[in-house]
Amino acid sequence: MKWTAAWMFAALAVGACAMFQPQGPPPEGELATRVSGTLTAIPPVITLPPETQATPEAPSPTATSEPTQAPPTATFTPEPSVTPLPSFTPLATPTLLSGDPRSQLGNPTWRDPFDATNNWPLGEDDFTRAEIEDGQLVMTGLSTTDGWRLTSPEVHDFYIEMTVETESCTSTDHYGLMVRVPDRHEANQGYLFAFTCDGRYSLRAWDGETMTSLVPATANASILAGSDKTNRMGLMADGDRLVLYANGVQLREVEDDAYDEAGSFGVFVGARQTADFTIRVSEIAYWENP
């Protein structure tokens, strides 16, 4: 009887130790989830004609951020494994190019043809779904709120270009490039250059609370409008000068110094009209100091 009681006491003691044993630090992915768990909701503020003006939405809390499961759209990726191509010799003058920059800049400093899966946060959350399929970054908007995915190179003065194809879309469904993000861990600042499905472009500045329209949504024939169309969108940044391009054609130049430091970049999508609006990005590349 004494032996039995002693045995039971020892078993209870072991169980209590297991029950109250201190836990170790959370895994790195879980910690990233906690850090960036509130960063993916961006109020859509594409400027529209009066009859279709959208009402800005308040930022919403995020869901997850683990890249291999359900990352938030404002999360960041590990350092890219893409091997940069040899850099080119910068132009002799700082004058921004008026023609198609790609035809004049030579080899890009960095490009991603999407033949690997570790340069971007993938998976699904409340705002977007992102996957690498057949050499493309496939992003689907799951909300009318803009959602983005960022990669890790940081650049200051650059020309960046993205080749993107739309699937079924209409009207104000939109997509684009986010650049000069000072801290990809927070992803709460930067510029957003967008194309809409109906062939308009815009430029906004995001400060974590408010989207400021630098260029309102403006129609331009250089943008191929509609579903199943492929566009090459480019943005040149030289100090506070920002120049917008569509398929090699200059759209507009603006000056703004809100974000005039090196930063990360990425892709965003907003399914304003079409449920599960999807884009397919076949390439992103940038040239430093164009």
What is the CATH classification number for the domain harbouring 178? 2.60.120.560
Please, which residues bridge with residue 128 across strands?
141
The mean pLDDT of 270-275, rounded to a whole number, is 96
* pTM (predicted TM-score): 0.69
Whether 25 maps to a domain, the answer reads no
For residue 250, the model assigns a pLDDT of: 97
Instruction: Round to whole Å and give the CA distance between 230 and 95.
Output: 29
Q: Name the residue range of residue 180's domain.
A: 40-91+100-288
Q: Could you give the C-alpha distances from 51 to 144, 173, 243, 281, in angstroms and in order?
A: 18, 16, 29, 31
Residue 276: inside a domain, yes or no? yes
Handedness of CA 263, 204, 163, 277 (dihedral sign): positive
DSSP code at position 188: -
Residue 27 lies in a domain: no
Give a yes or no: residue 11 inside a domain. Answer: no
In a domain, 224, yes or no: yes
Q: Is the pLDDT of residue 58 over 50?
A: no
148 bridge partner residues = 268
* Number of domains into which the chain is organized: 1
| Out of 116-130, 190-204, 233-247, least confident range | 116-130
92 has pLDDT over 70: no
The amino acid at residue 66 is E
Is the residue at 14 inside a domain?
Answer: no
pLDDT given at position 277: 98
Give the model's confidence band at 71: pLDDT under 50 very low, under 70 low, under 90 confident, else very high.
very low
Q: What is the pLDDT of residues 5-39, one digit of tens each?
A: 443 333 333 333 333 333 344 444 333 333 333 33
Asked if the structure places residue 8 within a domain, the reply is no
In a domain, 246, yes or no: yes
